[in-house]
Structure 1
């Protein structure tokens, strides 16, 4: 199975942050996880709160571990809160079911990782993540 290279992970981060600056968003933090939920790369902009790593990681972790992007997780949490509570129990509270956790798919459609962005409104975080993923020639599922 293909994986996200460190070089591609850095491209995703660089482009996501560039999109955030273009949109004049609050300082962002971006993490890229591989298909097993392990950190490939992370960056936090100057001025972003120090706790942003954990939030970005939790957004991405839920996406890759469930195979469900943050937007779908949020809808599921609104419809079946007990399910997302159970998921968080299984994963030790490491899932934040909101937009900004974006699935990364290769050209064949296989999930090869996830990106988590945090720092602004969740919808803006997701837009920046998707921009970075697509700039690295992958498909983004928000």
Structure 2
């Protein structure tokens, strides 16, 4: 697969939200972006604050634009805060460099998009993203 289809994006969202329900997490927002950082699909559970769209989007956007999952971005920010600050400026302040932004790759390892989730702890957000990505038959790189 060279891109994330709408069907795959909806599957990612469906499983991510089902995983959140199983774990009894706070209401989530989930966004799936293509490799160019454009939204394919988005959902916000009842009770999730409206700002979650921008936060989930920033997690996914940072992942796809930097080629680094949110966990790797956070490590980079801790080691080289000036780099993440500069990258955030270059990308119009759209980065949210924490877990919950997960790269999506195809079987060959090519980045085909990213998933961003916001609403619970960053670790829980990331776990839901990974579950959704894997359920869609794709590979996750947190």
Same fold (TM over 0.5): yes
When normalised by structure 2's length, the TM-score is 0.99
Map 1:51-66 → 2, pairs under 5 A: 51-66=51-66
The Cα offsets for residues 28-55 of structure 1, whole Å up to 9 and x where unpaired, read as 0000000000000000000000110000
- The reply on whether 1:80 has 2:90 as its aligned counterpart is no
Divergent runs of 4+, >4 A: none
Residue aligning to 2:18: 18
> What corresponds to 1:31 in structure 2?
31
Q: Which runs of 5+ in 1 are unaligned?
A: none
Equivalenced residues, count: 142
Unaligned residue ranges in structure 2 (runs of 5+): none
Q: Root-mean-square deviation (CA), in Å? A: 0.7
Per-residue Cα deviation, 1:57-82 (whole angstroms, up to 9, x for no partner): 00000000110000000000011110
The whole-number CA distance in structure 2 between the counterparts of 1:81 and 1:120 is: 24
How far apart are the structure 1 equivalents of 2:94 and 2:50?
Answer: 17
Tell me what 2:45 maps to: 45
In structure 2, how many angstroms separate the alpha carbons of the residues matched to 1:96 and 1:50?
A: 16
